[in-house]
Structures are given as structure tokens and as C-alpha cells.
Amino acid sequence: MKPLYKGKHFVTLQEWDRGEIEKLLEVSYELKKKFHANEVTDLLKNKTSFLMFFEQSTRTRNSMEAGIAQMGGHANFLDTSTMQISHGETGKDTAIILSSYGHAIACRNCFWGEGNAFIREMAENASVPVMNLQCDLYHPMQGLADLMTVKEVKGERENLKLSIIWAYATSHKKPISVPLTQSLLFPRFGYDVVLAHPEGYELPEWVIEQAKKNAEAAGGTFTVTNDMDEAYRDADVVIPKNWGSWASNQSDDVIDEVLEANRHWKCTEEKMALAKDDVSYMHALPADRGNEVEDSVIDGRRSVVYQEAENRLHTAKAVMAMTMGDK
């Protein structure tokens, strides 16, 4: 398993071409098979990665830590509140120093207007690959696992109707990075992508323009609507998930009038009945159960959320093996 992309940063999938993404998926399937067969995959023996987290995580942290351990390497988990970054040390200095101690730097920083810039500052100064574990704009690890899951459950069909749908939640003001990543990525694989949200939850205009260009180049479509039913109708895959109104309102407040006016944007059995009978329900998790989605949907026969979450492990391992490995 040659590390074909040794040293390449993984900041956004938009900077990886379709062939490279397909190769990452191929490696992910192979590593998944080997994981289930309990086969040794010591592709990162004696390698160290640094995992810097400005925010909480269950899937991302543990898929990275477990993933590198399963490949013979080691991850240093770094809560950034305990690093000198919290006293103002720069991303540049942090990246140069950590590069001299190990073989990759991975970081989650979702602060609006800061996260992506911080990760890019590290990437510009690191001499090892820098991996984005979610920022204010992108969540490429999630996007790759989502694409893997769509292909597993629907096969290699193109022109699937795949709907990214805003949903009501009160848990926290979530970043836009998951729907943004999906909006850019899925049209590149020929899918008919619908982005549905109430007014006030728009993604930035440059994202819509890029998503349309991506669709045009791959023979898919990208449509934006404020009509929730239109998104569910005849869909093959639905991804109803909350995101914050960051593009139009930078306040950290979770609950406001615009949010409360849209409580009805919930994934219910009634909405799912508008979709194809074999529709798949996806969610990056964590889900705000009862608000974003009814339990009977997320726990029901059409839900693939645990498969999607498991795929975070296999895709994270593929990214690490292909960018950090020697063999």
C-alpha cells in the first residue's frame, strides 16, 4: 500500500482531485476489510501524529487515535487549552516545533473566521502533513466517510438524489463545515444534490457557486431550495442536520427568533414517507434527538448512521496511511 500522497495536506477535499479521493476510498475499503478480518496493518510503525483539539469530539478524536494505534503508530492528544497557544503562541511556531517531533499534525478549530486560517497557517509552516479535523468551513474527514457510506449503501450509481437538509437543534450553534463539505463534494460524483434550508441558514455564496461548477463538471446538479418537502420528495439519500446561521449572523447565541421560527424543520416519519422507500438516512452525529430527528427514524431501518460513524475510522486510517506512511 504505497503512500501515494506522502506529505500532502488534508485541509479540504476541494484540493484533492477525484482520482485521489477515489484512491483514498479504495484504501478505506481495504483497511475496513482487514480490520474486520483482524489482520495486521502496521503501515505507520513508529510514527507519531499530534491531535490538537480546540473543541469537543467523540468520533474524530477516537477514530484518529484508534486508527494510528491500529497501524502501529501513536497519537498525542492535545487539548489546546493546555498548550501555549492559549497564551498566544502562533500556529506557525506550533507547526514548526511539532513537525520536528513527529510525522503529522491534525487539528480541530471551528472558531468562525479563525479555524481555517489557523489550520492553513500551520500547513504553510509545517514540514509534515497537516490534517483538518474540522474547521469553521470544512470537515473533510467527515465528507470522505459520508461519500464512502453513500457508495456502500447505494453502489456506484450516479444521479442519485441526495438531499442535505437543515434541521432544528438547540444543543449548540453548530459549524457549517459538514453541509459545506457535502455541498462541494457530492456534486463531484455526479449526484443530484439538493441543499434545503429555511431563510437565514444560507451557506456563503462562494460555496453555492463552487458547488454548481463542481456539478457541471461531473454531470450532476446542485439546487438550493427553502422548500423542505421538495428536498425529501423521491430522495435516495437524506442528510437532515442542523447548522448555525454563521454566514449571516456571527453571534454565538444558540437560540434566537430565526431558529425558533423553524422548529418544524425536523426529520419525521411523515417527511421520510415523501422519499423513496429505500431512502437512506444519514447524519454525521452527534444528533439532537427529538429536535433534529424522531427516534423512530434515526433508529429505524433506513438509518445508516452507525455505519457512517464506523467509516470515520477506516477513512481516517486511509488518509493517515497515504500521507504519512513509508510503505
Cβ partners under 8 Å of residue 41, min gap 6: 31, 34, 35, 70, 71, 317, 321
Residue 314 binding ligand CP, by CB under 6 A? no
- Report the 10 Å Cβ neighbour count for 97: 15
Residue 149 binding ligand CP, by CB under 6 A? no
Comparing CB distances to ligand CP, the nearer of 58 and 127 is 58
Query: From the CB of 60, what's the least distance to ligand CP, in Å?
Result: 3
Residue 132 binding ligand CP, by CB under 6 A? no
Query: 82 vs 54, 85, 99, CA distance in Å?
Result: 10, 8, 19
Query: From the CB of 134, what's the least distance to ligand CP, in Å?
Result: 6
Give the per-residue contact string, 59-88, with ligand CP (x = CB under 6 A; - = no): xx----------------------------
How large is the greatest C-alpha to C-alpha distance in the chain, in angstroms? 55
- For residues 179-198, which are near ligand CP according to CB under 6 A? none
Query: From the CB of 285, what's the least distance to ligand CP, in Å?
Result: 5
Number of residues engaging ligand CP in binding (CB under 6 A): 8
Comparing CB distances to ligand CP, the nearer of 57 and 223 is 57
Comparing CB distances to ligand CP, the nearer of 135 and 322 is 135
Rounded Cα distance between 119 and 83, Å, is 16
Give the per-residue contact string, 244-273, with ligand CP (x = CB under 6 A; - = no): ------------------------------
Query: From the CB of 2, what's the least distance to ligand CP, in Å?
Result: 28
Comparing CB distances to ligand CP, the nearer of 46 and 58 is 58
From 162, 176, 309, 156, select the one nearest 223 (Cα to Cα).
162
Comparing CB distances to ligand CP, the nearer of 145 and 215 is 145
- For residues 269-308, which are near ligand CP according to CB under 6 A? 284-285
Query: Which of 58, 127, 159, 251 forms a contact with ligand CP (CB under 6 A)?
Result: 58
Comparing CB distances to ligand CP, the nearer of 53 and 191 is 53
From 12, 89, 3, 14, select the one nearest 47 (Cα to Cα).
3
Comparing CB distances to ligand CP, the nearer of 57 and 76 is 57
User: Torsion-angle region of residue 83: left (phi > 0), alpha (psi -120 to 50) or beta?
Assistant: beta
Rounded Cα distance between 78 and 92, Å, is 17
Comparing CB distances to ligand CP, the nearer of 276 and 289 is 289
Query: From the CB of 57, what's the least distance to ligand CP, in Å?
Result: 3
Q: Which residue is nearest to ligand CP (CB)?
A: 60
Query: Which of 28, 94, 99, 142 forms a contact with ligand CP (CB under 6 A)?
Result: 142
Which residues of the shown chain bind ligand CP in the complex (CB under 6 A)?
57-60, 134, 142, 284-285
